[in-house]
Amino acid sequence: MKKILFVLMLTVMGNTFTAPKSQKTKNTRITTSRISENDRKEIENTVEMAMQPFINIVKNTVETEINKQSSKIPIDSLFPKDYVMSSALKKEIGKKYTDEIIKVVINGMKPRIAVKKINYVSQNEVQVNYEMKVKNLDKVWDLLDFDEQMEKQFLTKIGVKSIDEAEKIMKNKGNDELKKKYYYVMLDEMVNFVNEEIKKTKEEEIWIDDMSVTVKKINGKWQIQGTGN
């Protein structure tokens, strides 16, 4: 039981969430000297705000794809063969796990728009090159492990003295509610761990590159061409 829940998380993650490979780049921003610092900040804010609906679309698309891929994973493959559990219980636990993992991924991505370059066209018009970045979560999964501290917390919360005692319950008939509790407690431990590691993660990767938009100053306010933003 020590490793199976971690295997479950990594199996689901490995099969459902693979970000496009791209070069990890330093935060670079190039702005022509003919654009003032105040204008630059306003232009960047304008682009970031205008692209928020696009970011939401991307997040929804990713969530849909993860749900689609996770539904293809056989439920039985997520549990040790010697665990005695009904199909209904496995299905319930499996759904809980995938739902929580998807939530962790979607919330942990932290997609954002990063302006790369502002090209001067005229006093009231610029061309902005930008990209979408997300947090690189690869190292978070590498850190995931069932250490002694997590084992101790797990045993305390489920009310047994050893992993062997928990294993014995899992391998015998009955006690479905207790078995479900074991899995849910471990899930909470993992999710809390992953969320804390995601908070510490600063590294990002480019998800969508080479996007551009025209921004014009209209009535003293920078706006993206064709929108009111």
pLDDT tens-digit profile, the chain (229 residues) = 544 455 555 555 544 444 444 444 455 555 566 889 999 999 999 999 999 999 999 888 888 888 887 777 788 877 888 899 999 999 898 888 888 878 888 888 899 999 999 999 999 999 999 999 999 887 777 766 667 777 888 888 888 888 888 889 989 999 899 989 988 888 888 888 888 888 888 899 998 888 999 999 999 999 997 554 5
Burial of 145 (0-12, 13-18, 19+ CB in 10 A): exposed
| Burial class of 169 by CB neighbour count within 10 A (0 to 12, 13 to 18, 19+) | middle
- The per-residue b/e assignment along 196-218, b for 16 or more CB within 10 angstroms, e otherwise, is ebbeebeebbbbbeeeebebebe
Output the pTM of the full model.
0.72
State the Cα–Cα distance between residues 19 and 82, nearest whole angstrom.
Answer: 34
Question: DSSP character for 84?
Answer: -
